[in-house]
């Protein structure tokens, strides 16, 4: 398993941002990389994207189920497109999956892509799930 902290520029947000990614280890180093099923895990308003690794067993669950986990930083955005602020809904729903698939072997199949969260993150996951 690999835990990767990645920083990159988001065109949608117009700024540099970051996220943490958990990637399962391939059982055989010589095996061809297959796209991993992916869970996008959204944080609450009182925490940050790094809270998942520090306060839960997300790494153990990711390894046990063979899924990649993407944990983006969304600040205090409520995962919404703001009139005078970032477009976090568009960033998480549209731009982030494309960026992450460019960096890592993540599945683009609908049935292998999941989104969930806690508190504000649960709201964001439900909103994105219903709209996309």
111-132 pLDDT, tens per residue? 999 999 999 999 999 999 999 8
∠72-61-55 over CA atoms, to 5°? 60
State the Cα angle at 108 between 107 and 110, rounded to 5°.
105
Q: What predicted TM-score, i.e. pTM, was given to this entire model?
A: 0.92
Task: Going residue by residue through the chain, which has 132 residues, state the pLDDT in tens, using 9 for 90 and above.
Answer: 899 999 999 999 999 999 999 998 876 767 677 899 999 999 999 988 999 998 999 999 999 999 999 999 999 999 999 999 899 999 999 999 999 999 999 999 999 999 999 999 999 999 999 998
Question: pLDDT tens across 103-116, in order?
Answer: 999 999 999 999 99
Say which residues have a Cβ less than 8 Å from residue 27's Cβ, sequence separation at least 6: none
């Amino acid at each position: 398993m690999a835990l990767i902290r990645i920083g990159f520029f988001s065109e949608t947000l117009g700024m540099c941002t970051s996220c943490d990614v958990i990637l399962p280890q391939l059982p055989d180093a010589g095996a061809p990389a297959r796209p991993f099923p992916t869970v996008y895990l959204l944080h609450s308003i009182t925490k940050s994207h790094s809270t998942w690794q520090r306060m839960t067993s997300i790494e153990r669950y990711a390894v046990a189920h063979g899924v990649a986990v993407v944990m983006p930083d969304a600040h205090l955005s409520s995962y919404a497109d703001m009139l005078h602020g970032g477009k976090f809904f568009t960033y998480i729903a549209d731009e982030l999956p494309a960026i992450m698939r460019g960096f890592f072997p993540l599945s683009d199949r609908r049935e292998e892509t999941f989104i969930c969260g806690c508190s504000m993150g649960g709201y964001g996951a439900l909103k994105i799930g219903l709209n996309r």
